[in-house]
Amino acid sequence: MMTADPTKVSKRAKKRGLTQLGTLGAGNHYAEVQVVDEIYDESAASRMGIAKIGQVCIMIHSGSRGLGHQVATDALVTMERAMARDKIVLNDRQLSCARINSTEGQDYLKAMSAAANYAWVNRSCMTYLARRAFSKVFKKSPEEMDMHLIYDVCHNIAKVERHEVDSVVKTLLVHRKGSTRAFPPHHPLIPVDYQFTGQPVLIGGTMGTCSYVLVGTEKGMTETFGSTCHGAGRALSRNASRRKLHYEEVLAHLKSRGISIRVASPKLVTEEAPESYKDVINVVDTCQNAGISRKVVKLRPIAVVKG
């Protein structure tokens, strides 16, 4: 993002990010080897380079790691002072904010943009490592295996965009928390390859359920500022998942479905178990039925790596 200013990122944030480049991180971050299970829109899928059922894909979900976390932590301190100064009262004590054009607001947007750039580089590093791993196993180059990138997009981010509000086009700062950008066909901010399909929308399932690729729609642009969910969303808190589920049973269930998994910590197995999340099929169908995005392909996991 051109709005990034690394001088607004603290030394502690940079130190945390320095050793984490090219890593997944914990929580719901993952790298999955998937196969195409269903194709709903052959034209859009073909544009993405997806041609047949059974085609192998890799989906990587990760972000700005400790650097981004520290950027947010640092901003919370300065924004709380700004709220007291500007007499801003919120209805949730876990939230804080600053006026966009204040020094605190502008500093945060510049640091956040730098964190987003770090996240893109982080995923690029892991894409390189995934290609190298496949090359080593199959004795072919990534080009020979057509390991091209379909799309890379940030979520949990705020971006300055132009949208129509009450029949007037306005400049807005659109916050997408738990959602991702989903712009329609012919939008000037999406790549030329997707001008006729709409922006690819990546919706990850859990380590035992399917994921989807959708595309943005005009209705989504008018009703949700060009946004769609970026996952199924949790049904159980992490603590509740650890209390109710046993990691041996979750692993056995995944194995019975032909899914291999590598995970850093047993507690992550229960926290990220399919039962911990809402049904991604119902969530995606809701997005399609609401008209805010349109299904293109369904992907089934065969191997999962958790950070």
d(CA 253, CA 237): 20
Nearest Cα neighbor of 225 from 179, 192, 194 is 179
- Report the alpha-carbon angle 81-14-120, nearest 5: 105
Contact criterion met (CB below 8 Å) for 74 and 115? no
As annotated, the active-site residues are 230
Q: Which helix (H) or strand (E) holds 297?
A: strand 293-306
d(CA 23, CA 28): 13
Query: Within a 13 Å sphere around the CA of 301, how many CA atoms are in the beta-carbon half?
Result: 26
Contact criterion met (CB below 8 Å) for 261 and 30? no
The string of DSSP codes covering 129-196 is HHHHHHHHHHTS-TTTTT--------EEEEEEEEEEETTEEEEEEEEEEEEEE-PPTT-TTS-GGGTT
Q: Are strands 56-61 and 30-39 parallel, antiparallel or unpaired?
A: antiparallel
227 by DSSP, 3-state: which? strand
d(CA 156, CA 65): 13
